[in-house]
């Protein structure tokens, strides 16, 4: 029986060569579409997953070749060894200059010699760990390994994890928890480990949220998809995660009564009818120095007719892009960032300048637009901690109620409806729960 990693690698190789049964490929897509049609909820959050079904349905083998294998044509796989890095090796198609996969195991060189007999193996001149610099290597689409996933791994890039024949023992569960825990990490903008929607709401997304396309495209990118080679393996993963979920609950807080008496207004925006490139002080396009110089040279040297057709630009937008290079400080923010391929940067620039601009329309009375206090998600280590927190929240709520009740008792005392002894007894009874809460807190 072949090792699991060997079987997986053989499938990667077959696809790279174009040896794919189109019927099976379509059946696989339909199976995934069927699962998404059941409107699955995100684990832990109970939020419905948003998927563009038409985009998924339109994916072709050629799309996978280009996006995953970094190649425009099928070809054989070759291995590239890194001097002084026995635990790592990278793979690429002979038809491409860029690698697409990285293996990180105990002894990658030995694994290749034992399992990839007859493969072409070359050695790179660069003695630099690919694994340790994974965030800088956008060409790496597939990461293969085992313990490497929860020992020293701190990358935000993976959003698909495939568990191959995962076991049911203690070590296997630890592996699942640790690897998934690292897999869910996100960092859409450098040093900002929050969901892009949250950064957008706070005006800290540098225009990236709308540039990508909003929730319908951002949410899948910030979701960790978990697959298993068989049903039992996948079930093992889910059951393990459900155990972790037992100490997580969504709490609903009460609104202060006095706040309900106030009318709260929120702004409403409308589309202005203008594009970003048509306003005087637009949001700046974030770009690396190398990409900026490459773009400027591209738009300066290539014939306008080719630029229009190749990039699907309007004449007005093309003129504005060219003009933007003469006022770089107004339109661009140069950062120390990863350098992207020219077609990718050009598309991002076009999307950025084509953004629809919103403008203030009016104020409206707050209704159900702000409901975050109804869904406060708490994740604690034990069930006892969760119960203790809920008890404290309950006591605080009862204390506010007690203060109101005490005022009513005072009024009843002034009107002679109760005696002073009754007032004291009732007041002490109302305060006892809050005092016990305060003592536990101290």
The winner for highest mean pLDDT among 95-104, 126-135, 209-218, 258-267 is: 95-104
Provide the token pair at 243.
Answer: 């155990």
Q: Please, what is the average pLDDT of the chain?
A: 79
pLDDT one-digit tens code per residue, 425-438: 766 655 444 444 34
What average pLDDT score do residues 169-185 get? 74
pTM beyond cutoff 0.75: no
How are beta strands 265-275 and 356-365 bridged, if at all? Answer: antiparallel
What average pLDDT score do residues 390-400 get? 70
**Domain ranges within the chain, ordered by starting residue:** 4-244, 265-364, 378-439
Measured between alpha carbons, how far is 12 from 409 in angstroms, rounded to an integer? 77
178-213 b/e (C-beta count within 10 Å ≥ 16 → b): ebbebbeebebeeebebbbbebbeeeebbbbbbbbe
Instruction: Report the residue count for the chain.
Output: 442
- The angle, 0 to 180 degrees and rounded to 10, between the axes of the packed helices 420-441 and 383-414 is 160
pLDDT one-digit tens code per residue, 93-129: 999 989 999 888 878 888 888 888 777 788 775 667 7
The C-alpha angle 376, 406, 256, rounded to 5 degrees, equals: 25
Read off the DSSP letter of residue 41. Answer: B
Which range among 48-52, 300-304, 403-407 shows the weakest confidence by mean pLDDT? 403-407
H or E element at residue 270: strand 265-275
């Amino acid at each position: 029986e072949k090792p699991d990693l060997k079987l997986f690698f053989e499938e990667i190789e077959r696809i790279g060569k174009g040896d794919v049964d189109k019927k099976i490929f379509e059946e696989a897509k339909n199976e995934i579409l069927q699962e998404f049609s059941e409107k699955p909820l995100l684990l832990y959050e109970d939020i419905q997953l948003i998927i563009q079904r038409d985009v998924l349905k339109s994916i072709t083998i050629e799309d996978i070749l280009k996006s995953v294998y970094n190649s425009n044509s099928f070809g054989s796989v070759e291995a590239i060894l890194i001097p002084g890095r026995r635990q790592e090796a990278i793979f690429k198609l002979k038809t491409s200059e860029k690698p697409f996969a990285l293996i990180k195991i105990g002894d990658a060189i030995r694994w290749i010699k034992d399992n990839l007999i007859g493969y072409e193996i070359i050695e790179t001149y660069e003695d630099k760990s690919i694994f340790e610099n994974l965030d800088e290597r956008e060409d790496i689409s597939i990461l293969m390994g085992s313990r490497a996933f929860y020992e020293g791994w701190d990358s935000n890039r993976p959003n698909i994890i495939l568990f191959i024949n995962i076991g049911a023992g203690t070590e296997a569960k630890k592996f699942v928890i640790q690897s998934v825990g690292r897999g869910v990490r996100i960092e859409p903008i450098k040093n900002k480990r929050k969901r892009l929607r949250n950064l957008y709401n706070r005006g800290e997304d540098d225009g990236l949220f709308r540039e990508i396309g909003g929730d319908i495209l951002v949410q899948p990118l910030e979701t960790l998809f978990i697959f298993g080679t068989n049903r039992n393996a996948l079930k093992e993963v889910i059951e393990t995660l459900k155990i972790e979920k037992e100490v997580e609950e969504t709490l609903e807080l009460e609104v202060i009564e006095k706040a309900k008496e106030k009318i709260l207004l929120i702004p409403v925006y409308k589309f202005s009818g203008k594009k970003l490139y048509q306003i005087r002080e637009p949001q700046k396009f974030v770009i690396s120095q190398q990409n900026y110089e490459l773009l400027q040279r591209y738009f300066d040297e290539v014939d306008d007719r080719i630029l229009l057709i190749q990039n699907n630009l309007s004449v007005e937008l093309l003129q504005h892009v060219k003009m933007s290079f003469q006022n770089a400080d107004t339109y661009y923010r140069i950062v120390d960032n990863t350098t992207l391929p020219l077609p990718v940067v050009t598309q991002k620039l076009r999307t950025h300048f084509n953004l629809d601009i919103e403008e203030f329309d009016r104020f409206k009375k707050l209704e159900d637009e702000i409901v975050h206090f109804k869904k406060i998600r708490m994740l604690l280590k034990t069930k006892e901690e969760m119960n203790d927190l809920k008890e404290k929240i309950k006591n605080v709520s009862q204390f506010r109620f007690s203060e109101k009740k005490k005022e009513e008792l005072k009024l009843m005392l002034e009107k002679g409806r109760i005696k002073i002894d009754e007032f004291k007894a009732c007041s002490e009874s109302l305060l006892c729960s809050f005092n016990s809460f305060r003592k536990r807190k101290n």
